Structure 1
Amino acid sequence: MNVIPCWILISVLELVSAEWNTKDYMKREHSLIRPYQGSGMTIPYWDFTGSTMVTNNYIRLTPDLQSKQGAIWNSVPCHVRNWELQVHFKVHGKGKDLFGDGFVIWYARERMKTGPVFGNQDYFQGLAIILDTYSNHNGPHNHQHPYISAMVNNGSLHYDHDRDGTHTQIAGCEANFRNLEHDTHIGVRYERDTLTVSTDFSNKAAWKECFAVKDIKLPTGYYIGISATTGDLSDNHDILSIRLFELDLPDDPRDQEDRSNILPSASYFDAPREHVDDLKQSAFSRIMFFFLMLIAALALIACVVIGIMWYQKHQENSRKRFY
């Protein structure tokens, strides 16, 4: 009769001890959950810029309007060696066939730096997980948009919008996350120098791997942020929650390694793709090609007509000489 109470007591003690083990639970200083509001318009541990708007239910980085950009950045550097970042978000708008541009989840050395890369600076140091929704995409792609990709930068690489960053991405996958009625989540896991990006877009409460890349070196002490932008095309980019978990890996010999001063690096990059003009230039090129082909066809017809006339004249002269 005393067996069941003992097991219950043991289970309760395990739950209590797990609650005190912060490595098994969310790091609150790097997480953002409802209610967002602190005192006044501030959010504890977070700063926001640009068009970012805080509501009771979501944080809207950009409205569905042209030429907007917004960002939210964690104010506490992340010194966790192995971690998993889970972001609950929603991208939606009025556009049916044309929409954009997208948002980026950052793990970067510098924070609150506005710029051309989805609202953040170019030539950054760190990791970018890019959720690109720009439907009029550029370049000779073998994928559709929306598209998720990863970029690791040591500060020397340029993000090329004309190529949608395909020449610097380490991996990517197609992902239909726009204008869905159910919740959409993305998970970024960095464990033992392996970067794994997973998604939950099918409303099944289960992760689906997007890609995994080994031999990724990321420093500690960088900042977590999310930025979004719109251009000629637009969307609402809403963040509902951000949760960072420290992974407890006691058997990892590199767990005690000092990573504070290394440069971000990746041993593998996707094969670069040749640069092509953007769609406006391509349309212009197609028009020019059409006119060139038309001129060439007219010239060919003129040559044929002149040739026929010359042949007839030659035949006529030959008959005159014969008589």
Structure 2
Amino acid sequence: MVVISWLLLLIGVLESFATEWNTQDYMKREHSLIRPYQGTGMTIPNWDFMGSTMVTNNYIRLTPDLQSKQGALWNSVPCHIRNWELQIQFKVHGNGKDLFGDGFAIWYAKERMKPGPVFGSRDYFQGLAVILDTYSNHNGQHNHQHPYISAMVNNGSLHYDHDRDGTHTQLAGCEAKFRNLEHDTHISIRYERDTLTVSTDLVNKAAWKQCFQVNEVKLPTGYYIGISATTGDLSDNHDILSIRLFELDLIDDPKDREDRSQIVPSAAFYDPPRERVEDLKQHSWSGIKLFLLMLLGALVLIACVVIIIMLHKKHQENARKRFY
């Protein structure tokens, strides 16, 4: 009995461990990409690629470790699933030790195959972007370290500000050391009943670690999954090894049967804007300048009052002399 009890306990522990990593939901092959990648010729069924993207037997390289490169990979089938989880195995690596960049973005967007300035894709997009930013010298230091993972929901009216790492429009973010690791690195984006959860496995333990979770995120159905990357003056290899999309097996809810195809992407909560160290210094210097200007104004005012008093006394003395 004791042996059986220990075996049951071990099986339970192993099952609980596995559920942290392997989802029991349904993988949708039309939205997934696993090896071998290529179909006939240089085409990939259900996927298109552009820019510097290169397909090999072992990985899909969005950008090589060279300056000024831009590549993207987009699913050609719109995703009509209401609740889903996207798991991506990736590798970011390069020769740079202190300076490297720029990073890549994972998209759930209305428009696909649109190159642009936001990590290889268009600005003012509609949908969700999960950004893995590696640019460690990004126009002034920030109060977070790089690499950095953040999420942005856009209805088409918001601008992604590279100078501020998108912190004025992000939902949430976390630091994540995923660059130049020898073992596999994974990210999970889970969208379950308007709750967005981003998790990672960067320590090769086959278990998810939550990066952040945001409630009340409204995303339409019928958008496209994509991944894009870019390099500038700094560079890295941005490799995608696998993409798996799962339809979540949830308890039936009447809300899940609502038509979500026409709603506008939105989020109820955003992180408060966080300033760069450079901005804080500028604001501090602005405060000093304001104080000095106020001090100078006070001194000028005092000097004017003193001069007026002296002139008044002088006038009175002259008046008394004339009287005598």
Superposition TM-score, scaled by structure 1 size: 0.78
1:276 to partner: Cα distance: 7.5
Deviations 1:51-104 (A, max 9, x none): 000000000000000000000000000000000000000000000000000000
Given the superposition, is the C-alpha separation of residues 258 and 29 from structure 1 closer, same or farther in structure 2, using an over 3 Å criterion?
same
Given the superposition, is the C-alpha separation of residues 275 and 177 from structure 1 closer, same or farther in structure 2, using an over 3 Å criterion?
closer
1:130 to partner: Cα distance: 0.2
**1:305-316, aligned counterparts within 5 Å?**
none
Which residue of 2 is the match for residue 64 of structure 1? 65
- Would you say the 8 A contact 2:26–2:249 is kept in 1? no
AA paired with 2:255?
R
Which residue of 2 is the match for residue 125 of structure 1? 126
1:273 to partner: Cα distance: 2.8
Given the superposition, is the C-alpha separation of residues 79 and 274 from structure 1 closer, same or farther in structure 2, using an over 3 Å criterion?
same
Identical positions, percent: 84
Deviations 1:219-258 (A, max 9, x none): 0000000000000000000000000000022332211010
Count of aligned positions: 258
AA paired with 1:35?
P
Deviations 1:185-232 (A, max 9, x none): 000000010000000000111000000000000000000000000000
Given the superposition, is the C-alpha separation of residues 103 and 171 from structure 1 closer, same or farther in structure 2, using an over 3 Å criterion?
same
1:142 to partner: Cα distance: 1.9
Partner Cα separation in structure 2 for residue 167 and residue 25 of structure 1: 36
**1:206-245, aligned counterparts within 5 Å?**
206-245=207-246
**1:89-238, aligned counterparts within 5 Å?**
89-139=90-140, 141-238=142-239
- Would you say the 8 A contact 2:150–2:172 is kept in 1? yes
- 3-state SS, counterpart of residue 73 of structure 1: strand
Superposition TM-score, scaled by structure 2 size: 0.77
Gapped regions of structure 2 (runs ≥ 5): 1-23, 286-324
Deviations 1:103-157 (A, max 9, x none): 0000000000000000000000000000000010245622100000000000000
Given the superposition, is the C-alpha separation of residues 201 and 140 from structure 1 closer, same or farther in structure 2, using an over 3 Å criterion?
same
AA paired with 2:56?
T
1:275 to partner: Cα distance: 6.5
Which residue of 2 is the match for residue 258 of structure 1? 259
- Would you say the 8 A contact 1:162–1:277 is kept in 2? no
1:29 to partner: Cα distance: 0.1
Which residue of 1 is the match for residue 85 of structure 2? 84
- 3-state SS, counterpart of residue 149 of structure 2: strand
Partner Cα separation in structure 1 for residue 225 and residue 215 of structure 2: 21
AA paired with 1:257?
E
Is 2:59 aligned against 1:30? no
Partner Cα separation in structure 2 for residue 231 and residue 239 of structure 1: 19
1:24 to partner: Cα distance: 3.1
1:159 to partner: Cα distance: 0.2
How big is the alpha-carbon RMSD for the aligned residues of Structure 1 and Structure 2? 1.6
**1:259-298, aligned counterparts within 5 Å?**
259-274=260-275
- Would you say the 8 A contact 1:138–1:276 is kept in 2? no
- 3-state SS, counterpart of residue 254 of structure 1: helix
- Would you say the 8 A contact 1:147–1:175 is kept in 2? yes
Given the superposition, is the C-alpha separation of residues 97 and 192 from structure 1 closer, same or farther in structure 2, using an over 3 Å criterion?
same
Which residue of 2 is the match for residue 249 of structure 1? 250
AA paired with 2:88?
V
- 3-state SS, counterpart of residue 136 of structure 1: coil
AA paired with 1:217?
K
